[in-house]
Amino acid sequence: METDKQILARANKWLEGNFDEETKDQVRNLIANDPDGLTDAFYRDLEFGTGGLRGIMGAGTNRMNKYTVGMATQGLANYLKKTYSREHELRIVIAYDSRNNSKLFAKTAAEVLSANHIRVFLFEELRPTPLLSFAVRELNCQSGIVITASHNPKEYNGYKVYWKDGGQLVAPHDKNIIAEVLQIESVEDVKWKGDRALIEHVGKNIDDIYVERVKSLALSPDARASQKDMKIVYTPIHGTGITLVPRCLAEFGFEKVSVVQEQAVPDGNFPTVISPNPEEATALNLALLQAKKLDADLVLATDPDADRVGVAVKDHHGEFVLLNGNQTASVLTYYLLSKWKENGKLTGKEYIVKTIVTSELLKDIAVKNDVHCYDVLTGFKYIAETIHSHEGIKTFIGGGEESYGYLVGDFVRDKDAVIACCMIAEAAAWAASRGKSFFELLIEMYAEFGLYKEKLKSVTLKGKEGAEQIKAMMVNYRNTPPAKIAGQPIVEIRDYLLSKTINLKNETEKKITLPKSDVIQFFLADGSKITVRPSGTEPKIKFYFGVKALLANKEAFDKVNEQLDQKVEQIIQSLGV
């Protein structure tokens, strides 16, 4: 294809500007040999979104590299200095994961911040994202940065910003920081020469404090003691979980934790998996092989920055099955609320939080226990914001989202796979102490509350054309929604961008009070729920399907489960996705 003149001009600026020779060589190679790659690398600036940066690594304005990281950091530094102009000292903590260039980007950010007279606490080695969230408050910082692209493929890296409450950026700081970053038009606007005297390394001291706090969450000492030999297989999938998950499981008293050695070494190339995402079944292949060999009771797999965890257990037929995020969140919620009630800790001021695309089963469990359930937009930052807004008024027990992210307790303000691994293991021990497997506990819940079945389908549309296609699909769903889906009439539409709920049965509208977001939900006459939203971090449009049926008894599980699978497939076919 012919390269656009504007794109070529943007690329030539990098050849003429103050960039290192390695970067210039990459640009020259794109110009000479890869017009498509050149277009994608320079057709826009890498967007600093409400959570920070995320993109493919390489040279270019639309790529993750030390220059785009430096420019973003300068914008953040400018905002911090304006916001906290009366503070005697500005403090920020930085962590990074196992991805290629993560350490380089972390050091780059530290240099730029210290050049701006901001004290930096830099983790000396890779650490999980939730530890960064914890450290922001523990070290009394105004902000934090973690270099990670979470569960994205190996080509990606990212840059997430946290505020002084330990949560990811929310209004008004998210938009204000974006505005400051947009003011940085050139690498010449960045203060690159750091002040080493303002950079302090942290590590084991923070680990130790965090581990003690994780131990304080435990609810069932007797169950853990009686099930200390429960066999657990754990894989960090070449990520940061190896630094803390085995240690914390041992601190919880579990003595038979078997780590998947082939995936125990941090490696940004993720050589044993196609994608380091525990939501994808193939990422757990090695762990499942090891679990079958050992006849394990529980399989745990964390993503590269250890904020998400995938779970596998034996089903009622004795076969290993992967649980989806809704199932894990539901069992964890059921366990937490059961134990809080049993331990006499419920006072009427407790609550849980879930996202709007997460199973309604969590809300049913909360209602049954007289615990309030808050619904928030997709993204754990909104769960953190809810915790912050209720601080000192109500007690947060736990929260979760269908995308394998969970949190127990409020000393971390982001999803935490280290905590989740420990509490899931404790829930499994509790079930076993009552003569049940983890999966049998799940079926028992379905018999009590109804069998909820959820499925996520993502459609990947890459590049500039893909982004335009996704935008057009959302406009179409918004302006000309279908009257029926899989033969079932749509009775309600919730449009979070227009902030309104439309009841099609009585033709009324109601305002949605959550922040605006490009999300549409369709509720069908039979109780099914379909949610459509573009991903905020990947070139995907996501479809969430939720259906439900009564489960008369545990013996009927297989039949009803199959019927719901068929129902979901009918909805998918009806939408043509």
Kindly list the catalytic residues: 150
Alpha carbons 278 and 11: distance in angstroms, whole number: 37
Chain position carrying tokens 């303002």 = 198
What are the angstrom distances between the C-alpha of 61 and each of 76, 182, 186? 18, 13, 10
Residue pair 390/376 in contact by the 8 Å Cβ criterion: no
Alpha carbons 304 and 312: distance in angstroms, whole number: 18
Helices (runs of H) and strands (runs of E) counted in the chain: 18, 23
Residue ranges of alpha helices (H) inside 217-284 are: 221-226, 245-251
Q: For the stretch 119-148, what's the b/e string if a residue is b when 16 or more beta carbons lie within 10 angstroms of its beta carbon?
A: bbbbbeebbbbbbbbbbbbbbebbbbbbbb
Alpha carbons 174 and 161: distance in angstroms, whole number: 9
Give the residue from 336, 313, 335, 333 showing the smallest Cα distance to 323: 313
Residue pair 157/106 in contact by the 8 Å Cβ criterion: no
Alpha carbons 248 and 61: distance in angstroms, whole number: 41
Q: Is 58 left (phi over 0), alpha (psi -120 to 50) or beta?
A: left
Give the residue from 280, 317, 286 showing the smallest Cα distance to 299: 286
Which structure tokens are listed for 222?
A: 């007797």
Chain position carrying tokens 């959820």 = 454
